[in-house]
Amino acid sequence: MEWLLYIIVFAVGAAAGYALHFYRNSDSRVRELETHLTSVQHKYEHYQQAVTEHFSQSAQLVNNLTNAYREVHEHLQKGANDLCADNKRHSTQNPAQSFLGLEASKDAFPQSVAPKENKFLEPIEPPRDYAPKSPTDKGMLDEDYGLSK
Protein backbone atom coordinates (compact mmCIF):
# COMPACT_ATOMS: atom_id res chain seq x y z
CA MET A 1 0.00 0.00 0.00
CA GLU A 2 2.95 2.16 0.52
CA TRP A 3 3.73 2.05 -3.18
CA LEU A 4 0.25 3.59 -3.90
CA LEU A 5 1.23 6.58 -1.77
CA TYR A 6 4.44 6.95 -3.81
CA ILE A 7 2.48 6.84 -7.07
CA ILE A 8 0.02 9.49 -5.82
CA VAL A 9 2.84 11.78 -4.63
CA PHE A 10 4.63 11.28 -7.93
CA ALA A 11 1.43 12.10 -9.91
CA VAL A 12 0.76 15.24 -7.81
CA GLY A 13 4.38 16.36 -8.30
CA ALA A 14 4.22 15.72 -12.04
CA ALA A 15 0.96 17.67 -12.33
CA ALA A 16 2.40 20.54 -10.29
CA GLY A 17 5.56 20.55 -12.43
CA TYR A 18 3.54 20.56 -15.64
CA ALA A 19 1.34 23.42 -14.38
CA LEU A 20 4.37 25.42 -13.27
CA HIS A 21 6.10 24.83 -16.62
CA PHE A 22 2.97 25.84 -18.55
CA TYR A 23 2.56 28.99 -16.44
CA ARG A 24 6.21 30.01 -16.84
CA ASN A 25 6.18 29.22 -20.55
CA SER A 26 3.13 31.44 -21.18
CA ASP A 27 4.70 34.17 -19.03
CA SER A 28 7.91 34.11 -21.09
CA ARG A 29 5.84 34.13 -24.30
CA VAL A 30 4.02 37.24 -23.08
CA ARG A 31 7.35 38.92 -22.29
CA GLU A 32 8.68 37.93 -25.70
CA LEU A 33 5.60 39.39 -27.42
CA GLU A 34 5.85 42.59 -25.37
CA THR A 35 9.51 42.95 -26.35
CA HIS A 36 8.65 42.38 -30.00
CA LEU A 37 5.79 44.90 -29.84
CA THR A 38 8.07 47.51 -28.27
CA SER A 39 10.66 46.89 -30.99
CA VAL A 40 8.05 47.26 -33.74
CA GLN A 41 6.75 50.48 -32.14
CA HIS A 42 10.28 51.94 -32.07
CA LYS A 43 10.83 51.00 -35.72
CA TYR A 44 7.50 52.58 -36.70
CA GLU A 45 8.28 55.79 -34.81
CA HIS A 46 11.73 55.91 -36.46
CA TYR A 47 10.09 55.40 -39.88
CA GLN A 48 7.60 58.21 -39.23
CA GLN A 49 10.42 60.51 -38.18
CA ALA A 50 12.45 59.61 -41.29
CA VAL A 51 9.44 60.29 -43.57
CA THR A 52 8.82 63.64 -41.90
CA GLU A 53 12.48 64.64 -42.24
CA HIS A 54 12.54 63.49 -45.89
CA PHE A 55 9.55 65.58 -46.90
CA SER A 56 10.74 68.58 -44.88
CA GLN A 57 14.08 68.47 -46.67
CA SER A 58 12.34 67.90 -50.04
CA ALA A 59 10.16 70.97 -49.47
CA GLN A 60 13.19 73.04 -48.54
CA LEU A 61 15.09 71.91 -51.65
CA VAL A 62 12.11 72.66 -53.92
CA ASN A 63 11.80 76.11 -52.35
CA ASN A 64 15.52 76.70 -52.93
CA LEU A 65 15.13 75.57 -56.54
CA THR A 66 12.17 77.91 -57.02
CA ASN A 67 14.13 80.84 -55.61
CA ALA A 68 17.14 80.03 -57.82
CA TYR A 69 14.86 79.82 -60.88
CA ARG A 70 13.34 83.18 -59.98
CA GLU A 71 16.80 84.74 -59.62
CA VAL A 72 17.94 83.34 -62.99
CA HIS A 73 14.74 84.58 -64.65
CA GLU A 74 15.16 88.06 -63.19
CA HIS A 75 18.85 88.10 -64.19
CA LEU A 76 18.03 87.16 -67.78
CA GLN A 77 15.22 89.69 -67.98
CA LYS A 78 17.43 92.47 -66.57
CA GLY A 79 20.28 91.54 -68.89
CA ALA A 80 17.99 91.59 -71.92
CA ASN A 81 16.68 95.03 -70.90
CA ASP A 82 20.16 96.40 -70.25
CA LEU A 83 22.03 94.90 -73.18
CA CYS A 84 19.59 95.50 -76.04
CA ALA A 85 20.16 98.49 -78.29
CA ASP A 86 18.18 101.63 -77.54
CA ASN A 87 16.48 101.68 -80.94
CA LYS A 88 15.10 98.17 -80.36
CA ARG A 89 14.35 98.59 -76.68
CA HIS A 90 10.83 99.90 -77.18
CA SER A 91 9.88 97.72 -80.14
CA THR A 92 8.30 94.28 -80.16
CA GLN A 93 11.62 92.78 -81.34
CA ASN A 94 13.24 93.50 -77.99
CA PRO A 95 14.26 90.12 -76.50
CA ALA A 96 13.39 91.44 -73.06
CA GLN A 97 9.73 91.48 -74.11
CA SER A 98 9.94 87.71 -74.66
CA PHE A 99 10.31 87.09 -70.93
CA LEU A 100 7.01 86.73 -69.17
CA GLY A 101 6.79 88.09 -65.67
CA LEU A 102 6.71 85.50 -62.93
CA GLU A 103 3.37 86.84 -61.80
CA ALA A 104 1.83 86.33 -65.27
CA SER A 105 -1.34 84.26 -65.47
CA LYS A 106 -1.41 80.80 -67.02
CA ASP A 107 -3.16 82.23 -70.10
CA ALA A 108 -0.02 84.23 -70.98
CA PHE A 109 2.10 81.10 -71.38
CA PRO A 110 2.13 79.26 -74.71
CA GLN A 111 -0.41 76.49 -74.75
CA SER A 112 0.61 72.95 -75.61
CA VAL A 113 -1.17 71.19 -78.43
CA ALA A 114 -4.07 69.00 -77.39
CA PRO A 115 -3.21 65.39 -78.27
CA LYS A 116 -6.83 64.61 -79.16
CA GLU A 117 -6.84 66.79 -82.26
CA ASN A 118 -7.29 64.68 -85.38
CA LYS A 119 -4.60 66.46 -87.41
CA PHE A 120 -1.95 64.75 -85.29
CA LEU A 121 -3.47 61.30 -85.68
CA GLU A 122 -3.84 61.36 -89.48
CA PRO A 123 -0.23 60.52 -90.44
CA ILE A 124 -0.08 57.63 -87.96
CA GLU A 125 -0.62 54.26 -89.60
CA PRO A 126 -0.61 50.83 -88.02
CA PRO A 127 2.47 48.69 -88.67
CA ARG A 128 2.47 46.60 -91.80
CA ASP A 129 3.63 43.06 -92.36
CA TYR A 130 6.07 43.10 -95.28
CA ALA A 131 7.06 39.44 -95.16
CA PRO A 132 6.73 37.78 -98.59
CA LYS A 133 3.74 35.48 -98.71
CA SER A 134 0.86 34.44 -100.88
CA PRO A 135 -2.33 36.50 -100.69
CA THR A 136 -4.11 33.81 -98.66
CA ASP A 137 -1.37 33.42 -96.01
CA LYS A 138 -1.75 35.34 -92.78
CA GLY A 139 1.10 37.60 -91.72
CA MET A 140 2.73 37.77 -88.29
CA LEU A 141 0.70 40.86 -87.39
CA ASP A 142 -2.61 39.14 -88.07
CA GLU A 143 -4.78 38.43 -85.02
CA ASP A 144 -5.02 34.72 -85.85
CA TYR A 145 -1.33 34.17 -86.66
CA GLY A 146 0.07 31.07 -84.98
CA LEU A 147 -3.27 29.93 -83.60
CA SER A 148 -4.29 26.53 -84.82
CA LYS A 149 -7.95 25.94 -85.48
| Degrees to nearest 5, angle at CA 56 with 55 and 59 | 80
Which range, 24-38, 57-71, 127-141, has the best average confidence (pLDDT)? 57-71
Q: CA 59, CA 92: separation in Å to the nearest integer?
A: 39
Res 123 pLDDT > 70? no
- For the stretch 5-29, pLDDT in tens is 878 888 888 888 887 777 776 677 7
pLDDT at 3: 79
Res 62 pLDDT > 80? yes
Is 95 within 8 Å of 101 (Cβ atoms)?
A: no
Residue 94, number of CB atoms within 10 A of its CB = 15
Q: Which residues contact 77 (CB under 8 A, 6 or more apart)?
A: 96, 99
Tell me the longest C-alpha to C-alpha distance in the chain.
131
Asked whether residue 86 is assigned to any structural domain, the reply reads yes
Q: CA 18, CA 4: separation in Å to the nearest integer?
A: 21
Q: Where are the alpha helices (DSSP H) in the chain?
A: 2-83, 86-89
Asked whether residue 99 is assigned to any structural domain, the reply reads no
pLDDT at 101: 64
Asked whether residue 135 is assigned to any structural domain, the reply reads no
Q: Which domain holds residue 35?
A: 2-92
- For the stretch 73-113, pLDDT in tens is 889 888 877 777 566 555 566 666 666 666 666 565 555 55
Structurally, the chain folds into a number of domains equal to 1
Asked whether residue 39 is assigned to any structural domain, the reply reads yes
Asked whether residue 66 is assigned to any structural domain, the reply reads yes
pLDDT at 134: 72
Asked whether residue 47 is assigned to any structural domain, the reply reads yes
Is 113 within 8 Å of 120 (Cβ atoms)?
A: yes
Q: CA 34, CA 32: separation in Å to the nearest integer?
A: 5
Asked whether residue 147 is assigned to any structural domain, the reply reads no
Asked whether residue 138 is assigned to any structural domain, the reply reads no
